[in-house]
Structure 1
Amino acid sequence: MNKSLLLGASIALAGLTGCSNTPTTNVSEDTVLQNYSDIAFAVYSDSLETAKALKVATDALIANPSEETLQNAKAAWKAARVPYQQSEVYRFGNAVVDDWEGDLNAWPLDEGLIDYVASNYNRNSANLEEGEEIDQSAVYSVVTNPNLDIDNDGKVDTAEINASLIASLHELRGGEANVSRGYHAVEFLLWGQDLNGTNAGAGNRSYTDYVNGEGCTSGNAAADAAICVRRGQYLTTSMEMLVSDLETMVAEWDSAKDGNYRATLVAEGQEGIKKMLMGIGELAGGELAGERMRVALVANDPEDEHDCFSDNTHYSHYYNIKGIQNVYLGRYVRVNGDVVEGPSVNALIAAADEAAASQLEAKIETARLAVEGLVTSAEDKANPQAFDQLISPSNKAGNQIVQKSIDSLLQVTEATEGAAKKIGITEL
């Protein structure tokens, strides 16, 4: 595996620093949107290249299952999350991204739809209304069942695991938790369930789950070799779909292509700037502070954390706020170390009201530092505590670390709304 990709998953390469030295010359709505699009193209291109590297690693795992190839695949998955999570600031405001994103990053997922789960598992049994029936798709296990009966509408042919089948199962019957594809499906296929609750530890799938022949397992139980083959097919197909999906989005931001989304956006002027600021405010407040942190903290439920199988949630949250900072300051550091930099929305706002621009810049940096606290906690050599431990009802100090991040992210949203008004955008 490419050493730089392994380093890319570390906090060191990512650079836990802000940078406000954004060029302020030739700042206009047009130049800001051009640079915003350049960064989008770079971050999606990095996401594509790291996904391709992940596919190489998962192919190696399937071809030669071992502890080494499994660990390499896990490291490649974490490296692939570094650029992708920095792309999510483009989701809100840009419908072309939001409509597409659900195929790649939907969560939380009912893992029983994909593969074996613990005997006491029934994710969909939580919070049922009176008289409501459990959605049995939570325990279908496509990998281990070659024929499934769904809603008594006849048999779904799962004898061959291919892209068509996986796509047809995604959000089955409108269930948002029926996630069959994307980063988190791959995460589950590499780590397996995390059965540790709010205690230390991530998923612990064995490489023997991919052994083709004698020694094939499904967890602690011996399994027919055909099951391991099917599991490998599911992983291979999932990676092919992920790479294809990312290729689609790279093309949408490519300046060399005519008639794509980039061309449309750059021509929008203030409406395009509004989309930039909407992405910052909504990802910070509604999504990251709300859906990804507050929900898990209030419920004290590790099933609601973003990367619940790998316990990589602290990094996913960190790279979300880093993506926000990238867009605001107009600067992105690529996986290979190259820098994409140009006119920023920060400079555009500063031309109208320097105090408002500086305040938003400071709020984003404060939030970045607060979310960095999640990483510091998880990487603490003496007493590491990942996100699922921090949200435990008995961990008051951990709860405060998460709450500090939530509070600072909500302030980013508030400051974004105030700054937007300074350039004539009255409502986000």
Structure 2
Amino acid sequence: MKRNSILLLALSLSLVFACSSDDDNNSSNNDVSKSAVVSNYADMVYQSYLDSYNAAVTMQTAIEAFVANPSEATFTAAKDAWLDAREPYGQTEVYREANGPVDTESDAWSLGTEGQMNAWPIDESYIDYVATGTEDYAGDYGSIIGDTSITIDEATIAGLNEGVDDKSISTGWHAIEFLLWGQDNTVPADYLAGQRSYTDYTTADNADRRALYLTVSTDLLVGDLLDLVNTWAEGGTYRTVFESLDTDTALQQAINGAFFIAGDELSSERMIAPVDSTDGIDASGQEDEHSCFSDNTNRDVYANAQGVINVIYGSYGSIEGASFYDLVNQADAAQALALQTAATDAMTKINIIGDNALPFDYLITQETSDDLSGPVMQAVEALFTLADEISASASVIGINLN
């Protein structure tokens, strides 16, 4: 702490003085420093990746049990474990577009694995058989599983990811999802997910290769999550880089992730795009759904939005500390109230989707993007407003968002 700060505090603990430009020090016992917010953010990132990794390990165990003993019961357990694991992972997506290790490769930390973990939408025929007409065929349609000349191991399927175009996805959550649920060719009004049978892993063509692909792709995902846990741990490669940044730079990166998810990735790519791709009648919009095989998109939407709220308020699970909101509130109480109001409104509308008994692929058949009367587009507008308030709030603490 600066010498003059000590003298001022000795005269009066209630005296408030101006913070230094990078705010490395508290201005009073009650104020929050930028460095404290950065430290709490790093703790939160680590814990949420750890939770995601642990849930993925539970999924891995369930998938291994299914492959060892395929049955309706073990298949259902594997799918339930996938759904459970998506909840903590969805909240980590707010750490994207933050110049961090999940989607930025660097010689310093060498990750950038987001596209390997969570790329979508996917051309499922790149992985396995797909429906042709009204019948399913388990033959070779040029899929990785159908082409027995392709060795199925982690290095091979990772190397094949986006091997043809950005939809030729061979790894990650949605590859595993497809291998568990299969295509969702049902009518949205039937409220059904994909109907893959567990017998695809017993008596169907390529059953052994399909089982191997399922376990290998799961192992790859678990390994990628462990890498993120390790690099964000105390003393981890990226944690060290992040905590050595100028506090304004670190804050800009953290806040930009929330701004990106609210104002672009979630609102536009994951909500407006599927609304626009359906004609209000058929299942065409399912192709642009985030979790289109399992019909878990409503929960994806909720988890992604909750991640934004976590960053705003500096709270995740047992982690609770100095936050972006605290900094804004001590700089401009009126702007803090605007941010809080936008966050509350966004989550109120998101909860209508996240807790809805109707699947997302049905909801989007009832809406168009130029009509704001439905729950999906109302939530989109609320997310846009929240993104605007995140940007305005960043400005009052001297942070410029791109």
* Counterpart among 200, 225, 237 of residue 246 in structure 1: 225
- Given that 1:389 and 1:398 are in contact with CA atoms closer than 8 Å, whether structure 2 keeps it comes out as no
Bigger relative contact order, structure 1 or 2 (CA pairs below 8 A, ≥6 apart): 1
How much identity, in percent, do the aligned residues show?
38
- Does structure 1 residue 104 correspond to structure 2 residue 108? no
Which moved further from structure 2: 399-408 or 288-297? 399-408
Equivalent residue for 2:143? 141
Equivalent residue for 1:39? 44
- Given that 1:26 and 1:343 are in contact with CA atoms closer than 8 Å, whether structure 2 keeps it comes out as no
- Deviation per residue, 1:282-329 (Å, 9 max, x gap): 100110000000011111111101000000000011001111111111
Distance in structure 2 (CA, Å) of the matches to 1:278 and 1:192 = 35
Distance in structure 1 (CA, Å) of the matches to 2:31 and 2:125 = 54
Equivalent residue for 2:161? 170
- Deviation per residue, 1:321-342 (Å, 9 max, x gap): 1111111111101xxxxx1111
* Counterpart among 417, 425, 428 of residue 391 in structure 2: 417
**Counterparts of 1:32-181 in structure 2 under 5 Å?**
32-98=37-103, 99-120=112-133, 139-147=141-149, 158=150, 160-173=151-164, 175-181=165-171
- Does structure 1 residue 267 correspond to structure 2 residue 280? no
- Deviation per residue, 1:387-406 (Å, 9 max, x gap): 10111157999971110011
- Given that 1:284 and 1:409 are in contact with CA atoms closer than 8 Å, whether structure 2 keeps it comes out as yes
Instruction: Report the CA distance between 1:100 and its aligned residue.
Output: 2.0
Which moved further from structure 2: 315-324 or 361-370? 361-370
- Deviation per residue, 1:141-169 (Å, 9 max, x gap): 2112213xxxxxxxxxx1x3111220121
Distance in structure 1 (CA, Å) of the matches to 2:59 and 2:69 = 15
CA RMSD, 1 decimal: 2.0
> Structure 1 length normalisation: TM-score?
0.79
- Deviation per residue, 1:177-222 (Å, 9 max, x gap): 01000000000000000001433211011111111xxxx12xxxxx
Distance in structure 2 (CA, Å) of the matches to 1:184 and 1:250 = 21
Instruction: Report the CA distance between 1:267 and its aligned residue.
Output: 2.5
- Deviation per residue, 1:5-27 (Å, 9 max, x gap): xxxxxxxxxxxxxxxxxxx9462
- Deviation per residue, 1:234-279 (Å, 9 max, x gap): 011001101110111111110143xx21222222200111112111
Distance in structure 1 (CA, Å) of the matches to 2:340 and 2:194 = 38
- Name the SS of the counterpart of 1:229 in structure 2: helix
- Given that 1:391 and 1:402 are in contact with CA atoms closer than 8 Å, whether structure 2 keeps it comes out as yes
- Name the SS of the counterpart of 1:96 in structure 2: coil
Equivalent residue for 2:34? 29
Distance in structure 2 (CA, Å) of the matches to 1:349 and 1:321 = 20
- Does structure 1 residue 317 correspond to structure 2 residue 301? yes
Corresponding letter in the other structure for 2:397: I
Distance in structure 1 (CA, Å) of the matches to 2:31 and 2:46 = 21
- Given that 2:95 and 2:102 are in contact with CA atoms closer than 8 Å, whether structure 1 keeps it comes out as yes
- Given that 1:44 and 1:249 are in contact with CA atoms closer than 8 Å, whether structure 2 keeps it comes out as yes
Distance in structure 1 (CA, Å) of the matches to 2:275 and 2:223 = 35
* Counterpart among 349, 352, 365 of residue 373 in structure 1: 352
- Does structure 1 residue 389 correspond to structure 2 residue 362? yes
- Deviation per residue, 1:38-80 (Å, 9 max, x gap): 0000000011101100000000110111111011001100111
Distance in structure 1 (CA, Å) of the matches to 2:81 and 2:373 = 30
* Counterpart among 254, 258, 268 of residue 290 in structure 1: 268
Distance in structure 2 (CA, Å) of the matches to 1:358 and 1:398 = 25
Distance in structure 1 (CA, Å) of the matches to 2:323 and 2:33 = 9
- Given that 1:392 and 1:399 are in contact with CA atoms closer than 8 Å, whether structure 2 keeps it comes out as no
Distance in structure 1 (CA, Å) of the matches to 2:43 and 2:260 = 21
Distance in structure 2 (CA, Å) of the matches to 1:120 and 1:408 = 40
- Name the SS of the counterpart of 1:172 in structure 2: coil
User: How has the CA–CA distance of structure 1 residues 399 and 275 changed in structure 2, closer, same or farther, with 3 Å as cutoff?
Assistant: same
> Structure 2 length normalisation: TM-score?
0.84
Equivalent residue for 1:196? 186
Equivalent residue for 1:332? 316
Distance in structure 2 (CA, Å) of the matches to 1:118 and 1:399 = 35
Equivalent residue for 1:277? 255
Matched residue count: 352
- Given that 1:390 and 1:399 are in contact with CA atoms closer than 8 Å, whether structure 2 keeps it comes out as no
Instruction: Report the CA distance between 1:233 and its aligned residue.
Output: 0.4
- Does structure 1 residue 229 correspond to structure 2 residue 220? no
Distance in structure 2 (CA, Å) of the matches to 1:252 and 1:100 = 13
- Name the SS of the counterpart of 1:194 in structure 2: coil
- Given that 2:252 and 2:400 are in contact with CA atoms closer than 8 Å, whether structure 1 keeps it comes out as no
- Given that 1:285 and 1:409 are in contact with CA atoms closer than 8 Å, whether structure 2 keeps it comes out as yes
Distance in structure 2 (CA, Å) of the matches to 1:53 and 1:113 = 27
